[in-house]
Amino acid sequence: MAKNQAPPATQAKDIVVDLLVIGSGTGMAAALTANELGLSTLIVEKTQYVGGSTARSGGAFWMPANPILAKAGAGDTVERAKTYVRSVVGDTAPAQRGEAFVDNGAATVDMLYRTTPMKFFWAKEYSDYHPELPGGSAAGRTCECLPFDASVLGAERGRLRPGLMEAGLPMPVTGADYKWMNLMVKKPSKAFPRIIRRLAQGVYGKYVLKREYIAGGQALAAGLFAGVVQAGIPVWTETSLVRLITEDGRVTGAVVVQDGREVTVTARRGVVLAAGGFDHNMEWRHKYQSERLGEHESLGAEGNTGEAIEAAQELGAGIGSMDQSWWFPAVASIKGRPPMVMLAERALPGSFIVDQTGRRFVNEATDYMSFGQRVLEREKAGDPAESMWFVFDQEYRNSYVFAGGIFPRQPLPQAFFDSGIAHKASSPVELARKVGLPEEAFAESFEKFNEAAAAGSDAEFGRGGSAYDRYYGDPTVSPNPNLRKLDTSALYAVKMTLSDLGTCGGVHASPPVCDRQYCGQRIRSHLPGRRCNDRPGAGLRIHCRSPRSRESSFDSAVDPLGNRSPNGRSARVSDAGNVHWSPVRLVGAMPPVCPISVTLTRQVTKTRYRLQK
């Protein structure tokens, strides 16, 4: 078998298990928890690869007050984190959901340490997205997986989903490394030790130790997959959900299809829907989100087309947050290639963004979720951003990495210019003319931005006013690391698009407070959902899914008669005798990397939640 070639898919067959997990991204956390609790578990994956959109992500996760932060001396507390979540989310979701969201993080990290070979670290100073709000942290709460040796997967290595970008050299770069590597020209004393260390780790590991170190979402997905392989949990790839099976009003399994042949999986304890969102279902995206979204410009896994959401809807489930995605501004795609993400690029000085009117419309350095929401808000208000252009000068091009792989001083690819997504000029008026922008309006915006940059204060949009903005800024530029006047000797404009890492919406579940009048509903869910419209920090997509996956498995382990798991562990039961389900968010079909598990179960004890119709 060739290196990294996936082994043949395990043949699907009629089977009975305790827990069925649909989707192999962070839904693997549900499988690992179920296995630890003594449940027989099966993972079903639509595509040929394991890892979902998690494997295509940056791999960071936002988990307040977890053991990683405690060991690093971050000083975070559960109460402070709850205050922050309430500040960000406000009244868009019940307070109990946010509290449960925070409460389950530490236990999830402990579970991952027990069940996988992964090791984690705190991405110190990767600020919360809104650190100025009560409970916010400029030091940040985001964590990452250390570079992981994918060779431990053995024959299963070829089944791991590839990442978005494949490096020419074996060099595992974490998100924390990227921040400084991006500043290799401006902060070489910070950048090059990291570059040398990661290059040595990758090269020495590959050619001497025969190891394959990977980082980011690849490391996180590989670590979860390694735990699954070591636990002997079967994974059926190239196997799609057809429909959920019900008995006496409860979900008892699913019909799945592989190579055109349908089989039945009976699930005694429940079905976890962790199958991604509807990233590549353009009919739904245009219906629920925007008709302006480009065809298949999502960076989510190609198998995310919404079947799990549809299957739950067929049983009467409602849906919510369908208009939201994990938005990500990107360089426009060319020649069928996927868009190129723009993360630090937008925050660095010597650049700004304009729309088709030639004027700025947003704080360019804001988090990518807020950026996308601003674009969609404008469209709903009847003032759409019909086009977006990223403007910068030669000093910017000489100083920073661009689009993830164009290094300082390296010219922009000729394909950018040939396809019309890039233009170069020697004056603002000439650049506006080449791009097709109103010349007078653009020249005015250019002058206004330069005045603000010279003063170090962006009164119009507040760029550089938040610790989050400054994280990806240039510390060698003062007084504002996000602002610098553009020189007119050589100017560039590169076309942008609104891409995403997947959709947020899915099956809608009720609040976490027990309402007895709803106990008789025919579809029951362990996990109500959290809105994703407001995002507290980097890596929330992974955080909000992993604890939910863990808790859904814990709840499914409860014995309907004795309220105990098969291995004897007690479940949490309220004074009224109800199983204390973990309050999580919605999504029956988990959006990409972060979603939220919704467990449809056969539980016969009283449940505290209902799926809204």
What pLDDT sits at residue 578?
26
CATH number at residue 445: 3.90.700.10
What are the pLDDT digits (tens) for 83-116?
999 999 888 877 888 888 899 899 999 999 999 9
* Owning domain of residue 457: 328-500
Position 192 in a domain:
no
More confident residue, 91 or 423: 423
Q: What is the share, in percent, of the chain residues with pLDDT greater than 70?
A: 82
Report whether pLDDT(562) > 70: no
Helix axes 95-103, 78-89, angle to 10 degrees: 140
One domain, residues 496 and 539? no
Query: Mean pLDDT, the chain, as a whole number?
Result: 84
Q: Which amino acid does the sequence have at 203?
A: V
- On whether residue 524 sits in a domain, the answer given is yes
- Residue 294: per-residue pLDDT: 85
pLDDT of amino acid 451 = 98
Residue 382 lies in a domain: yes
How high is the pLDDT of residue 542?
Answer: 55
Cβ–Cβ under 8 Å, residues 256 and 236: yes
| Ramachandran bin of 234, using left for φ above 0, alpha for ψ from -120 to 50, beta for the remaining angles | beta
What is the structure's pLDDT at 6? 77
Domain stop point among 465, 500, 535 = 500
Residue 484 and residue 345 share a domain: yes
Decide: pTM greater than 0.95: no
The residue type of 106 is A
| Shared-domain flag, residues 510 and 496 | no
476 & 530 share domain: no
Same domain, 541 and 432: no
pLDDT value at residue 100 = 87
The sign of the CA dihedral 375, 136, 128, 113 is negative
CA dist 577 and 476 (Å) reads 61
Judge whether 116 lies within some domain: yes
Domain boundary among 454, 474, 500: 500
Helix (H, G, I), strand (E, B) or coil at 25: coil
The single-letter DSSP state of residue 336 is: T
pLDDT the model gives residue 94: 79
Same domain, 399 and 380: yes
- pLDDT of residue 530 exceeding 80: no
Same domain, 465 and 513: no
Query: Each residue of 53-80: pLDDT tens digit?
Result: 999 999 999 999 999 999 999 999 999 9
For residue 360, what are the CA distances in angstroms to 468, 492, 522, 528, 585?
Answer: 20, 16, 51, 39, 35
Query: Confidence band (pLDDT; 50, 70, 90) for 51?
Result: very high
Reply yes or no on whether the pLDDT at 610 is more than 50: no
Are residues 276 and 332 located together in one domain of the fold? no
Instruction: Answer whether residue 573 is part of any domain.
Output: yes
Average pLDDT over residues 421-429: 98
Integer Cα distance of 34 and 31 in angstroms: 5
Q: Would you tell me the crossing angle of helices 540-556 and 28-36 to the nearest 10 degrees?
A: 30
Most confident option among 5-9, 235-239, 571-575: 235-239
Tell me: do 102 and 230 sit in the same domain: yes
> Same domain, yes or no, for 149 and 23?
yes
pLDDT at residue 520 greater than cutoff 70: no
Confidence at residue 589, expressed as pLDDT on a 0 to 100 scale: 30
**Amino acid 437: pLDDT:** 98
Whether residue 160 contacts residue 225, with contact meaning beta carbons closer than 8 Å, is answered with: yes
Q: Packing angle between helix 216-231 and helix 28-36, nearest 10 degrees?
A: 30
In the predicted model, is pLDDT for residue 166 greater than 80? no
Rounded Cα distance between 409 and 406, Å, is 9
Average pLDDT over residues 437-450: 98
Say what the pLDDT of residue 1 is: 47
Are both 366 and 475 inside the same structural domain? yes
Torsion of CA 62, 64, 70, 75, to 10 degrees: 120
64: nearest Cα among 143, 129, 119:
143
Residue 198 domain-assigned (yes or no): no
Say how far apart CA 208 and CA 228 lie, in whole Å: 27
Average pLDDT on 168-188 reads 93
pLDDT confidence of 529, banded at 50, 70, 90? Answer: very low
pLDDT at 590 over 70: no
Identify whether the C-beta of residue 525 lies closer than 8 Å to the C-beta of residue 562.
no
Return d(Cα 139, Cα 130) in angstroms, integer. 12
Query: Of 406 and 583, which is predicted with more confidence?
Result: 406
pLDDT of residue 101: 85
Segment 472-488, tens digit of pLDDT = 999 999 999 999 999 99
Structure tokens belonging to residue 196: 């040398």
Domain CATH code at residue 276: 3.50.50.60
CA–CA dist 273, 294 (Å, integer)? 27
Task: Assign residue 426 a region (left: φ > 0; alpha: ψ between -120 and 50; beta: otherwise).
Answer: alpha
Assess whether 336 and 320 both reside in one domain.
no
Pairing of the two strands 325-331 and 340-341: antiparallel
Of the candidates 135, 136, 127, 143, the one whose C-alpha atom is nearest the C-alpha of residue 71 is 143
Q: What is the mean pLDDT of residues 375-403?
A: 96
Q: What's the pLDDT tens digit per position in 5-39?
A: 778 889 999 999 999 999 999 899 999 999 999 99
Q: Which of 331, 269, 278 is CA-nearest to residue 300?
A: 278
Work out how many domains the chain is built from and give that number: 2
State mean pLDDT over 326-335: 92
CB 164 within 8 A of CB 338: yes
Among 466, 500, 534, identify where a domain stops: 500
What is the per-residue pLDDT for 511?
47
Tell whether omega for the bond before 479 is within 30 degrees of 0, i.e. cis.
yes
Inter-axis angle of helices 95-103 and 105-115, nearest 10: 30
Give SS3 for 196.
helix
Q: Residues 518-522: what's their mean pLDDT? A: 29
